[in-house]
């Protein structure tokens, strides 16, 4: 498990491109036949990727979280951004298609990922995990793709028409901290999360997916009046500390998984920043 310590907005103006990328971009979570993970000390979120090929893969603990079982003191939301696959939690198997979400509660002992058609046209499943510490155990719950709480946002005239589906949230699948969903840009719309916002009470991570290999999302980060950008490729994640805006524009169509953890789960507890105030 890679470990990244928390950062302050004071550091951002002094960082060059490589410095920004090494702290905030998570570029290599998805590797065939492996589980890769990153622990950020921002709200102690763990981001992981699992790509099972010819053999199933288990999500296990690590020295960085001082536990043999990943879910000993944690919960997680898991979204499949690849081909069809299954997630088995303590003997119960969930068919997890592209874009579906499984919440796994604290105390789960054995969590196993498998692909249904790794060698076929669909390719291996690619499971994205966003986890946070949990004080109690909520039931493990599956939500099929698109079946959460849907919000239609933006306008084609401002190139930001998008469908936001909330899976794990206050009025949906219950959790201790993790709030999670998927936003899909409509054809021709390229801007996400504009107007941009911050939420000083929560850390958030975006994982961009379904982006063509030769396209990029220009992702804005930093304090609203001192922004920087990251060029982000398919299946790369960005860590947004509580003080950082998180908004992007793609050079092609894309979706992203957003996941948060922190003080509260109130989705609308955010501070908007008009583009005219941003620098």
Query: Looking at 17-25, 106-114, 170-178, 198-206, which segment touches Zn ion (CB under 5 A)?
Result: 198-206
- N-term to C-term CA, the chain: 35
Closest approach, Cβ 159 to ligand LADIRMRS, in A, equals 13
265 contributes a contact to ligand LADIRMRS by CB under 6 A: no
43 contributes a contact to ligand LADIRMRS by CB under 6 A: no
> And the tokens for 15?
């960082």
Degrees, nearest 5: CA angle 190-196-197: 145
Closest approach, Cβ 111 to ligand LADIRMRS, in A, equals 25
Closest approach, Cβ 162 to ligand LADIRMRS, in A, equals 5
Tell whether the torsion through CA atoms of 198, 41, 148 and 86 is positive or negative: positive
C-alpha R_g of the chain: 18
Q: Which of 43, 75, 204, 235 binds Zn ion (CB under 5 A)?
A: 204
- Which residue is listed with tokens 């155990």? 137
Query: Looking at 37-45, 53-61, 75-83, 192-200, which segment touches ligand LADIRMRS (CB under 6 A)?
Result: 192-200
Pairing of strands 255-262, 179-185: antiparallel
Alpha helix (H) ranges present in the chain? 17-24
What residues line the site for ligand LADIRMRS (CB under 6 A)?
Answer: 153, 162, 164, 183, 192-193, 199, 204, 246, 258, 270
What residues line the site for Zn ion (CB under 5 A)?
Answer: 204
């Amino acid at each position: 498990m890679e470990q990244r310590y928390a950062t302050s907005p004071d550091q951002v103006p002094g960082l060059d491109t490589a410095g920004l990328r090494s702290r905030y971009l998570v570029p290599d979570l998805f590797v065939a036949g492996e589980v890769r993970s990153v622990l950020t000390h921002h709200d102690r979120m763990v981001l992981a990727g699992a790509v099972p090929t010819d053999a199933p893969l288990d999500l296990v603990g690590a020295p960085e979280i001082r536990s043999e079982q990943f879910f000993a003191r944690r919960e997680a939301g898991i979204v499949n951004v690849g081909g069809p696959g299954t997630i088995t939690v303590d003997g119960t198997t969930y068919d997890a298609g592209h874009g579906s979400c499984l919440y796994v509660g604290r105390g789960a002992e054995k969590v196993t990922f498998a692909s249904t058609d790794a060698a076929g046209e669909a390719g291996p499943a690619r499971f994205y995990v966003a986890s946070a510490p949990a004080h109690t155990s909520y039931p493990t719950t599956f939500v099929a793709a698109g079946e959460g709480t849907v919000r239609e946002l933006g306008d084609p005239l401002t190139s930001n028409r998008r469908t936001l589906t909330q899976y794990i949230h206050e009025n949906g699948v219950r959790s201790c901290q993790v709030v999670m969903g998927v936003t899909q840009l409509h054809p021709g719309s390229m801007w996400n999360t504009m107007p941009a916002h911050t939420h000083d009470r929560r850390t958030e991570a975006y994982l961009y997916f379904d982006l063509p290999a030769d396209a990029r999302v220009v992702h804005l980060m930093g304090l609203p009046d001192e922004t920087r950008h990251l060029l982000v490729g398919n299946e790369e994640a960005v860590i947004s500390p509580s003080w950082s805006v998180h908004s992007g524009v793609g050079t092609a169509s894309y979706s992203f998984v957003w996941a948060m953890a922190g003080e509260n789960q109130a989705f609308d507890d955010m501070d908007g920043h008009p583009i005219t105030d941003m620098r």
